[in-house]
Amino acid sequence: MRLERSKRRNGVLTRLIFSFLAVLVASMIYMLQGVDPLDVFSALISAFTTKVGFSELLVRMIPLLLISSGLALCFRMKFWNIGAEGQYIVGAMAAFLAVESTRQPIVALLSAFAAGAVLAVPPALMKSRLGVNEVLSTLMIYYVVYWVFQYLIHGPWKAREKVGEVSYGGFAHTSIIPAELGTVPGTRISPVMLFLALSSAVLIYFVMERTKLGFEIKAFGGNPKAAEISGMSYFRTAALTMMISGGLAGLAGAGDLLAIQHRLIPEFPCGYGFTGIITAWLGGTSPLGLIAANMFFGGLLVGGEEMMIVYSLPFGAINVFNGLILMFVAAGEFLTRYRAR
C-alpha cells in the first residue's frame, strides 16, 4: 500500500464520519451506564438551538477563537506553542494593572496584547539560538506564570472589599476593576470581544495569504532548511508569529477579565489555552474552519453543562465523551490528509 498526500482537502466529510463513530462508542458507554444516548445528544444539540445555549456557546467561543487563531499560525510553521494559557494569564494580569491605573478598557486591551506578545518571544529565541524544544519551553513558562499569578492573588494583590458598613479582607481575590466592557443585553457576550475574535480569524487568513510573513511561515512549515538557505531568518519569523499568537491569547485573557469576571480570582485561568490547541489544530488557518471548530467546542462545553442539568450525567461521563470525540477526530485526520493508492 502506498500513501500519498491528498491534493484536495475534503476533510469535512471524513471528520463527520469519525465524529459519528465517536458518538457510537459514546452511546455504548452511556447505555452501559443506564442512560438513553438520545437524551444525551438532544441535550448536546440544544446548545446550538436554544437562545441561552447559543449565546453561552458564543461566550466560550470568543476566548477560544482568539487563542486558536494565533496558535493556528504557530502550528502552520510547525512551532508548537502550547503555553497559550500562560499568555492568557499574563494578558489578564496586564489588563488588570492597566485598567486599575487608567480606567480605560482600550489601554487594558493594548497592554494585554503587548504582555502576551512579550511573554511569547523567549521560546522563539531559545528555539532559534539554542535549539530548545518549544513544546517544553512554552509549557514550563506557563507553569512559572501560573504560580506567580497565584502568588499575587494570594499575596500582594489581595484586596479588601466594603459591603455596606463592613470591610471584608483576607479573601484571595483582587479588587473589582473600575471599568469594564459592555455586553449585549440579556447575554454575557461582549460585542467588542466578539468582533476582535472574528477579526482575528480573518487576520490570520490575511497574514497567511497576503503578507511576506505568511510566505515565510509556509516556507519554514514546509522545508525549514530550504527556507534558511534562501535567506529567511528563522528567529524573525518565529518571534513575529509567536508575538501574534501570544498577543491574541493575552487579548483573550483581558476580554474575560473586562467583560465577564471583573476581578482576578484563583480559578481565573480555566484551561482555554489548552482547549485552544485542539481547536487550532481542528480549524487550521482557514477563518471558517477556525470559527466552526471553536463553535463546535463551545457547543461541547455548553452541551456538557446541559447534560448535567437535564439528565444528571456526571462530569466524568461528559469528559469521556469529549475525549472520545477528539480521539476519533484525531484518528480521522489520517484519512483526510493521506489516501491509499
Partner 1 sequence: MLEFVSTGLQLAVPLLLASLGEIYAERSGVMNLGVEGMMSAGALASFAITLKTGNPALGLLTAAIVGAALSLAHAFISVTLRGNQVVSGLALVMVGCGLSSLIGRGYVGTPLPMGSRRIPALLGQDLIFYVSVTLSGILWLVLFRTRAGIVIRSVGENPAVADSVGVNVHAIRYLCTAFGGLLAGAAGGYISTIHNGMWVDGITAGMGWIAIALVIFATWDPAKAVGGAVLFGIVESAGYSLQNFGISQWLLNSLPYALTIVVLVVASSRSVKRRIGAPAALGEPYFRE
Partner 2 sequence: MKLAIPVLLVVVALLIVFLFASKPALINPTNKENVQTQNSSNQGQISKLEAAFVYIGPIGDYGWSHAHHLAAQEAAIRFGKWLGMTEVEKVNPSDCAGVIEQLISKGYKVIFTTSFDFMDPTLEEAKKHPDVLFFHCSGYKRYRNMGTYFLDLYQAYYLDGLMAGALSRTKRIGYVAAHTIPEVVRHINAFAIGVKETCPKCEVHVKEIGAWFDPNKAREAAESLIDQGCDVLAFTEDSPTVVQVAEEHYQKGERVLVFGHYSPMYRYGPDVCVSGQIAHWDVIYNDILSKVYSGFYNSTNLEYVDYWDKMNSGAVELGCKADQPINPRFIPELKKVRVNETVQLPNGTVLKDPNAYTLVMARLAQMGAIWTGHGWKYVNDETFDPFTGPIYDNTGELRVLPGQRLGHDALWSMQWWVENVIGPPLSGG
Q: Which of 57, 61, 72, 80 binds partner 1 (CB under 8 A)?
A: 80
Comparing CB distances to partner 1, the nearer of 54 and 321 is 321
Q: Which stretch binds partner 1 (CB under 8 A): 8-16, 157-165, 191-199, 332-340?
A: 332-340
Binders of partner 2 among 109-168, rule CB under 8 A? 150, 154-160, 163, 166-168
The single-letter DSSP state of residue 4 is E
What is the rounded CA–CA span in Å between residue 215 and residue 222? 11
Does the protein bind partner 2 through residue 34 (CB under 8 A)? yes
- CA 324, 46, 194, 93 dihedral sign is negative
Asked whether the beta carbons of 72 and 280 are under 8 A apart, the reply is yes
Cα dist. 203→116, 192, 214, 243, 260 in Å?
A: 17, 16, 11, 14, 24
Asked whether the beta carbons of 121 and 240 are under 8 A apart, the reply is no
Query: Read out DSSP for 12-44?
Result: HHHHHHHHHHHHHHHHHHHHHTT--HHHHHHHH
C-alpha cell at position 324:
472520545
What stretches of 169-225 adopt beta strand conformation (E)?
none
Count of residues binding partner 2 (CB under 8 A)? 62
Residue 50 contacts which entry, partner 2, partner 1, none (Cβ below 5-8 A, type-dependent): partner 2
Does the protein bind partner 1 through residue 68 (CB under 8 A)? no
C-alpha cell at position 330:
484525531
Length of the chain: 341
Binding mask 248-287 for partner 1 (x = CB under 8 A): --------------------------x--xx--xx-----
Binding mask 288-317 for partner 1 (x = CB under 8 A): --------------------------xxxx
**Residue 283 Cβ, how far from partner 1 at the closest point, in Å?**
12
> What does the binding site for partner 2 look like in residue numbers (CB under 8 A)?
1, 25, 28-29, 32-35, 39, 50-53, 55-56, 59-60, 150, 154-160, 163, 166-173, 176, 186, 188, 256, 260-263, 265-268, 270, 301-302, 305-306, 308-317, 340
